[in-house]
Amino acid sequence: MSDTPILSQSEYLGANPVLTWVSRYLAILGGLIMMALAIMVVASILGRLFFQTSVTGDYELVEMGLGISIFCFLPYCHLKKGHVVVDIFTASASPRTLLWLAILSDCLMCFVAAVLTWRLALGGLDAYDYFDYTMILQLPNWIVYAVGCGSFGLLTLNCLDSLLTSLKGLKHG
């Protein structure tokens, strides 16, 4: 982005401190889950190496855990404006143009997050209704859908908050 933003970094972090707090601690939880998975993978590898046995269901746990972990990172990533941006097109843009691009991206992201929230909710209900479980550990798959639905719901709220903040910048800029 340009060196002269209309909104400061603190304004981009969201006008709603509750959303910011929940997003931050959800991201920390995602990091803790990822660290626990790394420890479990090391334990599984060492178990295979020294004891000819591994952690039962380690692949299932990694699949589910990484999915949950990534879901946990998304709302905070959006608040920090941490998504991938192609600077080549925006490096010479004016602050007003950058603000309009932020508004457009917030609108698109809000729409996508809302649709994914809806679809994850329906997918989770189907997984629950049809008793969808993992093969080895028999863990219910709807749990991942539920975490994803909650995370994308929070992401949708963060997108709305970010959009309102950008619109305030348009009004004052």
Quote the CA–CA distance of 147 and 7 in Å, as a whole number.
Answer: 32
Can you give the residue ranges of every domain in the chain? Answer: 9-172
**pLDDT of 35:** 98
For residue 48, is pLDDT > 80? Answer: yes
Does 29 score more than 80 pLDDT? yes
pLDDT of 11 over the 70 cut: no
Span 9-26, average pLDDT: 79
The pTM of the full predicted model, rounded to 2 decimals, is: 0.85
For residue 143, pLDDT beyond 80? yes
The string of pLDDT tens digits covering residues 93-108 is: 888 888 888 899 899 9
The DSSP bridge partners found for residue 133 are 140
User: What is the rounded distance in angstroms from the CA atom of residue 87 to the CA atom of residue 100?
Assistant: 15
Helix axes 17-51, 58-79, angle to 10 degrees: 150
Average pLDDT along the chain: 88
- CA–CA gap between residue 135 and residue 73 (Å, rounded): 27
Task: State percent of the chain over pLDDT 90.
Answer: 68
Q: Please report how the helices 95-129 and 142-172 are oriented relative to each other, as an axis angle in degrees rounded to 10.
A: 160
